[in-house]
Structure 1
Amino acid sequence: MAGNDANIPGNPLDRISDRKRSLRNALAELDIGFLRDNAAWAEAYKTMDWSKIECVDQLVKSTEQIVLKYPKPVDPIKKAISSVFEEVLLRYPLFFGYWRRYTAVEYQLNGIESSIEVLSNAVESFPSSVEIWCDYLSVLMANRSEKVDMIKINFEIARTHVGWHFLSHPFWDKYIQFETKRECWPELNEIYRAVCKIPLHQYARYYTAYKSFLEQHSELASHEIEDIFPRTQRLVAKVWPFESKISKPFFDLTPVTQTDLENWNNYLNSVISSDSLPKEAAEMLFERCLVPCQYHEHFWKRYAKWMNNHSDFEHIVETFKRGSKALPDHCLSFRRDFIKYLDAQLNEEDVSRKSQVLYEELIEYAAYWPRRSELVHEYINCRKRTDFTSSLDEDDQQILKQQTAYTNYLHVNINAFFAKNSEGDIQLERLLDADSISVLIVELIKMTFFTLKNNIQTRKFFNEFRREPQLKNSVAFWLIYYKVLKVTRAFEELEAFVDELGNKIFLPTLVINDILKDLQSFFLTNLNFRSYDNATSRSKYSRTIDPIIELEFKLNDPQWVKAKLNESKLNDIKESGHPGIIIERPEISNSIVELNSAFFNNCAHSLPSFRNLEKVTKPPAYVNHFKSDYLVPK
């Protein structure tokens, strides 16, 4: 009964997220005449600002006025009224006052059975509320008195949720009243013994009542009571300094003061570190703290960490799910902790079910996660570990079969994404977008090149995907492309890659700078200088970037391109500072850049060769700039 998955409150600071709501429009089935007669109420609903408690309260009040105005409304009006309350409480399930008002409205509209159902939903949505549990149990005792076992079960459920609440005396009074009326003295004795051990605000009253009860039922007498009272008294004295400082134990849309936050934090430290309090006390305190501190990620993280050490998988997952739904969208640290926890659980038993929980949460997070690539990476890693797993105990062929199957799985899903069909993994399809598809492509290339050692297929994949517009600014894709080119020593492709950086391939400037610095070092270490010399002599680098000399020009200026020299520029160079006199000087055409290399000392040294040597005796060409620039019409 006491499930917590309905906690879907909003964020009072940066608006309510609508990511998990499928409510119908409350006004959809109302006729035009009714909407015209109640225009103010309809307009208040349509223009509702859910981040302001004043607006929420005004909507609830005006809805109650509709109930008074139409004592016996038709079904569409009943549905509209119920829908308004349902939406308010779906967004803010911790407003226990609205649950009470909704119960009263539902009783007037549809009778006692519907109001009991509302209260049942209330204790499921807000199980740490003493007030709601007392209301629910009172209604059951008054209207379902013949169903004693069912009422008893609900009392025990309530006991697990609110029994250790410092102010839970209304619940214990009701439980004692229930058992007293039944005259089940052994069970009542057990209740008294349990409540006397709990540090409650009114603990002394229960001690006195228990002593009186034992005097009337001497057969149940025990000397333990004399030891219980002083121990409980010490516990109350220990928690009272913190309890007395709690100024706002309830939920609302106003920020929690720093004083209250520090008090809750210190209170938790005290209870968690105490050897005299059981884990139920700490769990109850966390639940109480998270009512006013619903939007504070710090307390949810503390609760999940504590649960990880004191509870089982089901309860830990439930806590993480509640926190994920309650916290504002920008609180990603808590949700990452959830992903890490589920990921760690894949090494334990029942992997299939746990992996499915992880998949579902990743899909939930995709609606508001800033970069889906992180979620996609986690998803395919999980798929690999669960569906394509292998171990060192298996033979090489079996391992290769699993690796090939995983590679094919990636390729199928990539093709399905670009073809926009449903032939791939349906769950993965819900995660993929234009930014995250690069994760699959990079993983496919890594598997093909580094694991399967298939260089030819790797080249095919690069040729297939590098022109896709989704990858123009993918850092991961172009870094793996650069790494593969380096490993295969594809110098010409590397030079073409550098030309495209900043012009056709758009990466962050810092990333491009790192690539250029690394590439320059790589060229100096691995380039064949004879080939470089021949390329230089053929004027290859007059059109492309010289990998030795010109890479630095692109640093901090990714869009830099090498200027192409036109004929007039060439003539200016040939004039060499003497306008009108063009002289083509002889130049050495073979380089001596290998002077300091080991290769230079291990072979015969080549003689210098020259270019334009035959033009030494050629008379200079004179250009009449005055005539060409001013007298000849253009």
Structure 2
Amino acid sequence: MSVTNLPKDLESQTITQISKLSTVSKLQHVVNSHPNNLQKWNQLFTELNKLIDTIATTNNSNDINSDDNDLKQDIHNSYKALLSRFPYLTEYWKKWQSVELKINGETASQDILRMAVENYPNSISLWTQYLSSILIHDKDKTDTELFRNAYKQALIHNGYDFNSHPIWDMAIEFETNQSKQSKELLELYLRIIKIPLYQYAQYYNQFSEINKQFEIQQIITSSDQLNQYVNEFGKNHLDDLSLLEKHQIIDDFTASIFSNTQSRVNKNWQFESLLETQEFTLEIGISNNNNNNNNIAKEKPIWINYLHQEIDTYAKKPNNDQFELVCTLFQRCLIPNCYDSEIWLKYLDFINNSSLSKQEKFDKQQEIYINITAKLIPLDNNETRLKYVELLIDYEKNQEANEYLFSWMKLFSGGSKKYYKASYLEITKELFNLWIKLLDDEQFITIAESMINKYFNIHEKQPRKEKDEGTANNNNNNTTPNSESKSKLELTDSLITSVISFLNDESICILTVLYLKQLQHQQSQSQSQLETKQSQTIKIRKFFNKFNHEKCFKTSIQFWNFYFQFELTQNHWKNLKSLINHIKFNTQLPKIIIDSFIEWMYEISNDNLINFLKLNDGRSDETIIMKDLEISNSLYYNKTTIKRHAMKNNYIIINNNNNNNNNNNNNNNNNNNNNNNSNNSFDKKRNNIGGEEEFLRLTSKQIGHPGIFVDAVPQITNRLMLDGNDIDLTQENLSIPPLPMFKNVEKASQPIKYPSTTTTTITQTR
């Protein structure tokens, strides 16, 4: 399932043809790299517009060279790329239509308008312009059905819009010119007089002038309502009514509709009169990128209250007209608020709670989800995307849900030339949770274990036979009904391989922890089977011994949190002590996380004091004694931090050692045997210092930020109370101490040497 879902005419989002003009070319490169920068798009079209008149002149001269054709294609591709990403920019659809009219003629111009209403069907102004172009362009052909089908489509999308009178006017004028007594004209009036529109009174007056030309049965289609009118006049049959009585009934019927419509218009006007921003403009797009949508935010409560009023009306008396009116109101609201996932979810919730059939609900919700999740909802907001997955699961479309999540996983992992870390990890976790939900427990464990081994390029010594048997069992589970199997999803080998290729050091930790939790879940479900329970426990611990040294797990909070909780639930105090020591000295977790583990261990030690006394042969546990020192921010007191950073967990020390080794090698090559003895003695001296001293030495050279060093810090050379400079305050004749003397003062103002970015970059993917 594609995550873009662009209309066929707008599949390309990249400007493929680059202009030879330097200014235009530079701007095209910028918008290709930053397609959401509407300011640069605006600058690009400003430059292109300067060339349009020249192209139009060339068209008139019957001498169009290849450069003109290339430039015309540039303009076409530029508008296509912008409007595929921002389909609600009405202003630019109209500009594109105008440009095509100048450089390519009426047919191309009308084709742009057709694309506009297909991709932005809720624009009244675009539909009005498109309908006008059909009338003008096809006036000699008198293609009645072409225009009729077009305005019907326009009314399907906009007929209940409070400001849709331009489309209604064109439709009524067209049908009136065809025939003043046609059923099409009557159908239009019977629809429009019931809808609360801005020009509602105008349409009522127009219909009042012509409604006597139609039979009463054509106007009052409900037989029960018609019989009620007949009874009120004391008649038994409709044919017994006189012409005057029929006209009175028609007037009363239309007047009652008008009264109801007028009441609704007055009720809605309190909101409509306050809504000033109802279009998506360039300014709205720019302000959204800058998080400065003051006007939109100001009008949002008005939209919400308006929607609540109409939703309540539908809840009291569900009917198709009110349903369409609420949907249209949502669509109007979501033009200026198109990036607001909260309102989109309200819209989807309304459809889900409506009186539509189950399939109709799904079709409408799916259409909305597909249109908004790729184009409108920001990439860092996955709430609507996950709601769509829930919808697919509710309707038992499990394969589609799996493909949908995998498509987004690929996109966020760098498929769009950018790595969206937070969204990638969120979607990846949801994908694996979906597998857990839909697969049999054993099936997920087997697949996850295989994926982890393949990611770390680990091959078991005896996997072939077991793998073949496992595959056969999995195939049987997928194809053969089994009362014990819960699998509702089929994962092919090619799909699993593809997922592995998009994993990185952060997402493999997610899969690992979910895999371990499933093993633990199996363990908890096997309370009556002691052997199974013990085997799962051993398997979890073997996994730790096998993989804990991997670099990705050294930085994974969830990995260590799982094992800490696991050993705690097992009441294995010895393993718990070993684990906390491993966390303190061998991981690369943030200090605040390590401090949390230490405090956690402190509470556990106090709560289980007797067990730890037995474990330590009657001695108090060191966690209780050293807790405050181990969470101290002072490197002087916190020996745990010093050891952790000194044990190859500090990139500064590693890089410094590597640089020194490289320098030593260069010196050996340049000076041959002359400097060998001096270099060797230097290495021995450094080795004698030790890792902890090396870390403290480097730390002392930092100036308030890790990794930024100075050659020397100014120091006082004649400090008081040190080196025999004590002052005896009991003496009567005290001499004034000398002024302080400093060293390294001249180096304090030297430029700071910042570390190279190449030495601090951490690889995102494996």
Give the TM bin, normalised by the shorter chain. Answer: 0.7 to 0.9
Q: Equivalent residue for 2:151?
A: 155
Letter in 1 for 2:156: T
Where do 1:64-463 residues align within 5 Å? 64-71=49-56, 72=59, 73=64, 74=66, 75-143=69-137, 148-183=144-179, 185-217=182-214, 220=218, 222=220, 223=250, 224-252=253-281, 253-254=283-284, 255-257=293-295, 258-275=297-314, 278-310=322-354, 312-327=361-376, 329=378, 332=381, 335-340=382-387, 342-343=389-390, 345-361=392-408, 363-364=410-411, 368=420, 370=422, 372-386=424-438, 388=439, 402-419=440-457, 425-426=496-497, 428-429=499-500, 432-451=503-522, 453=533, 454-463=536-545
Aligned-residue offset at 1:329: 3.5
Of 37, 59, 76, the match for 2:44: 59
Note closer, same or farther for the CA distance 1:265–1:510 as it changes in structure 2 (3 Å cut): farther
Please report how far the alpha carbon of residue 80 of structure 1 lies from its aligned counterpart in structure 2 after TM superposition: 0.8
SS at match of 1:210: helix
Query: Whose helix proportion is higher, 1 or 2?
Result: 2
What TM-score does the superposition give when structure 1 sets the normalisation length? 0.72
Cα distance in structure 2, aligned partners of 1:91 and 1:338:
18
Question: Does the Cα contact within 8 Å between 1:106 and 1:115 map onto a contact in 2?
Answer: yes
Contact 1:295 1:328 in 2 (8 A): yes
* Distance in 2 between residues matched to 1:170 and 1:352, nearest whole Å: 45
CA RMSD of superposed structures (Å): 3.5
| Cα separation, partners in 2 of 1:461 and 1:516, compared to 1, 3 Å | same
Contact 1:416 1:423 in 2 (8 A): no
Counterparts of 2:106 and 2:587 in 1: how far apart (Å)? Answer: 68
Structure 2: unaligned runs, 5 residues or longer? 221-249, 285-292, 414-418, 460-492, 524-532, 644-766
Cα pair distance change 1:350/1:260, threshold 3 Å: closer
Q: Is the 8 A contact 2:113 2:126 kept in 1?
A: yes
Q: Deviations over 1:138-157 (max 9, x none)?
A: 33344455654454333332
1:497-536 matches, within 5 Å, as 497-507=579-589, 508-521=593-606, 523-527=608-612, 529=614, 532-533=616-617
SS of residue matched to 2:280: coil
Could you say if the C-alpha distance between residues 525 and 506 of structure 1 is closer, same or farther in structure 2, counting changes exceeding 3 Å?
A: farther
Superposition deviation, residue 116 in structure 1: 3.2
Which amino acid in 2 is paired with 1:561?
T
The alpha-carbon deviation at position 370 of structure 1 amounts to: 1.6
For 2:554 and 2:268, locate their aligned partners in 1 and report how far apart those are by CA, in whole Å. Answer: 60
Task: Report the TM-score when normalising by structure 2.
Answer: 0.61
Shift of 1:202: 1.0
Q: Is the 8 A contact 1:412 1:424 kept in 2?
A: no
After superposition, give the CA deviation of every residue in 1:353-390 in whole Å (9 maximum; x if it has no partner).
3444444455555653526433222111212333x2xx
**Which residues in structure 2 correspond to 1:460-475 (within 5 Å)?**
460-475=542-557
Give a deviation string over 1:297-328, Cα, whole Å, max 9, x none. Answer: 44333323323323612322333344434556
- Choose which of 15, 20, 25 in structure 1 pairs with 2:15: 25
- The one-character-per-residue Cα deviations of 1:76-113 (angstroms, maximum 9, x if unpaired) are 22221101111222233212121112123223444444
**Cα separation, partners in 2 of 1:480 and 1:51, compared to 1, 3 Å:** closer
The DSSP-based 3-state class of the residue aligned with 2:328 is: helix
1:286, CA displacement in angstroms?
1.4
Offset at 1:407? 0.7
Q: Which residue in 2 is equivalent to 1:12?
A: none
Q: Could you tell me whether the CA contact under 8 Å between 1:119 and 1:136 is conserved in 2?
A: yes
Gaps spanning 5+ residues in structure 1: where? 8-19, 389-401, 565-634
CA contact 1:6–1:93 (8 Å) conserved in 2? no
Query: Which amino acid in 2 is paired with 1:249?
Result: Q
Greater mean alpha carbon deviation, residues 449-458 or residues 438-447: 449-458
Displacement after TM superposition at 1:69 (Å):
0.9
* Contact 1:516–1:551 (8 Å) recurs in 2: no
Q: Does the 8 Å contact 1:128/1:287 carry over to 2?
A: yes
> Following the alignment from structure 2 to structure 1, what is the Cα–Cα distance between the partners of residues 555 and 327?
48
- Find the aligned partners of 1:430 and 1:206 in 2 and give their Cα distance: 63
Name the structure, 1 or 2, with higher relative contact order (CA <8 Å, separation 6+). Answer: 1
Residue 431 and residue 526 in structure 1: after superposition, are their counterparts in 2 closer, same or farther (change >3 A)? farther
Does structure 2 conserve the Cα–Cα contact (< 8 Å) formed by 1:516 and 1:555?
no
1:218-252 residue CA offsets vs partner (Å, 9 max, x unmatched):
57455232221111111111111211122222222
Q: Structure 1 pair 472/330, CA: closer, same or farther in 2 (3 Å)? A: same
Distance 2:421 2:595 in 1: 25
Query: 1:556 Cα shift?
Result: 5.0
Closer, same or farther in 2 for the Cα pair 1:344/1:250, shift >3 Å? closer
260-269 vs 284-293, which deviates more? 260-269
Deviation at 1:290, TM superposition (A): 1.6
Cα 1:101–1:523 shift into 2, 3 Å:
same
Deviations 1:268-313 (A, max 9, x none): 2322223577021111111111222233344333323323323612
- Look up the match of 2:473: none
**Contact 1:179/1:187, CA 8 A, preserved across alignment:** yes
How many aligned residue pairs are there?
Answer: 517
Q: Is the alpha carbon distance of 1:103 and 1:413 closer, same or farther for their aligned partners in structure 2, counting shifts above 3 Å?
A: same
Identity of aligned residues (%): 24
Identify the range of structure 1 (358-367 vs 120-129) with the bigger mean alpha-carbon deviation: 358-367
Deviation at 1:6, TM superposition (A): 5.0
